[in-house]
Amino acid sequence: MKRLILKKGREKALLRRHPWVYSGAIQSVEGAPLAGETIAIHSASGQFLAWGAFSPESQIRARVWGWEEDLAVDADFFRFRIASALDLRRQWVETDKTSAYRLVHAESDGVPGLVVDRYNDTLVVQFLSAGAEFWREAILSTLVELINPDCVYERSDVAVRELEGLPPQAGVLFGDLPDEPLVIRELGLAFKVDLAGGQKTGFYLDQRDNRQRCREMVRGRSVLNGFAFTGGFTVYALAGGAESVLSIDSSEEALQLAQENVAINGLSADRCQWITGDMFEELRTLRDRGLQFDLVVLDPPKFAPTAAQANKAARGYKDINLFGFKLLKPGGILMTFSCSGGVDMPFFQKIVADAALDAGVDARLLYRLGQAPDHPTHLAFPEGTYLKGLVCQV
């Protein structure tokens, strides 16, 4: 049997059902397992703990598939786990209003390293771990069988694969990718999505509920949407009756798509302004010009993928939030986010509190926000709660 033996006393996390085994917890590996191959995980005393996928290149040396000793990790295993994930989405996604959402959310759906997002009848998949990569054909077959999509497109072109010793990959795995950007529906609004070239898998699906929260707060307000990407918060703000929205992003292509998204929803372009540029520089320029807004949205890209990078990333988060506070009118609202897995909510709140202090404002926390329920978090796996948001009023 190929197995992994933990050091004495290092089984506590697994006994609490945390699905990761770090390299530093390992005493020995027996049987020379291949990357992604299923191995038994035992305590130093020989107690069976779990079945996991072996990853020789990663600091996360094994990711747990399951805890039952008689569990068989095979094609039927993936069919059951993916079918269970689909059932959860049927309960929590209003598919009559929304045609794009997450179907499989990796560890929190019991399939570590696998992300599957649905955009109409196209699936976008990411194989982010050695285990998911090892089982990619079985996973692909299951997705085609259970969902019958028109296309399955891979977007495994992300840095986390390098940590697993895997090269980036992208391209069509099944069917044909539409030539034109897809138009998805989300809570009654429409968005063009570039699946091949857009960030993440094409759209920030995890922000759906937070965009709706923004929509409910903006009537008659002036809005700054920082890191606007393709205009998710911009469109929701306009639909909610915002007086004006200034959208800033470093990508001219993303802002062009954002303008198209405003147009296809029949919203007034006269209420929009667009700036292409570095967000840090543009925030500083807006401050120097003395401009202020009723509501500022800051939704930056990932600054700290791992906890080791959190302190370095804190400087960036503090800077943008300091400017965000300075750009608020009295009584204004800041919606600020972090999607960095290495920054937890208490740390993020401390960063934002320090930014308010340096900005010289007295701010109160109104809401803590997170990802939509199609991005669930297993209670034993807090790392699954990667999206953190705060709504603050000065």
pTM to 2 decimal places: 0.92
Instruction: Render pLDDT for 65-98 as a digit per residue (tens, 0 to 9).
Output: 999 999 999 999 999 999 999 999 999 999 999 9
- Please tell me whether residue 117 adopts helix, strand or coil conformation: strand
DSSP-assigned letters across all residues of 183-215: EEEETTEEEEE-TTTSSTTSS-GGGHHHHHHHH
| Whether 339 is catalytic | yes
Q: Which homologous superfamily does the CATH classification assign to the domain defined by 3-66?
A: PUA domain (2.30.130.10)
Q: Which are the contacts of 46, defined by CB distance < 8 A and separation ≥ 6?
A: none
* Domain range summary for the chain, segments of one domain joined by +: 3-66, 75-175, 204-393
Which listed residue (151, 272, 339, 392) is catalytic? 339
Instruction: Render pLDDT for 142-199 as a digit per residue (tens, 0 to 9).
Output: 999 999 999 999 999 998 899 999 999 999 999 999 877 799 999 999 999 989 887 7
- 75-175, what's its fold? Transcription Regulator spoIIAA (3.30.750)
CA distance 192 to 286: 29
In contact, 54 and 33? CB cutoff 8 Å: yes
Instruction: Render pLDDT for 210-221 as a digit per residue (tens, 0 to 9).
Output: 999 999 999 999
- Looking at the chain, how many residues does it have? 394
Parallel, antiparallel or unpaired: strands 38-42 and 48-54: antiparallel
Predicted pLDDT of residue 200: 80
Asked whether the CA dihedral 16, 22, 25, 29 is positive or negative, the reply is positive
Which CATH number is 204-393's, of 3.40.50.970, 3.40.50.700, 3.40.50.300, 3.40.50.150?
A: 3.40.50.150
Kindly report the backbone phi and psi dihedral angles of residue 172, in degrees, each rounded to the nearest multiple of 5, phi listed first: -75, 130
Q: Which of 200, 211, 184 has its CA nearest to residue 95?
A: 184
Tokens representing 162?
């390098």
**Residue 304 burial (CB count, 10 A):** 21
pLDDT digit of tens for each residue in the chain (394 aa)? Answer: 899 999 999 999 999 999 999 999 999 999 999 999 999 999 999 999 999 999 999 999 999 999 999 999 999 999 999 999 999 999 999 999 999 999 999 999 999 999 999 999 999 999 999 999 999 999 999 999 999 999 999 999 998 899 999 999 999 999 999 877 799 999 999 999 989 887 788 899 999 999 999 999 999 999 999 999 999 999 999 999 999 999 999 999 999 999 999 999 999 999 999 999 999 999 999 999 999 999 999 999 877 666 667 777 788 899 999 999 999 999 999 999 999 888 889 999 999 999 999 999 999 999 999 999 999 999 999 989 999 999 999 9
Predicted pLDDT of residue 304: 62
Q: Which residue has the tokens 């290149």?
A: 57
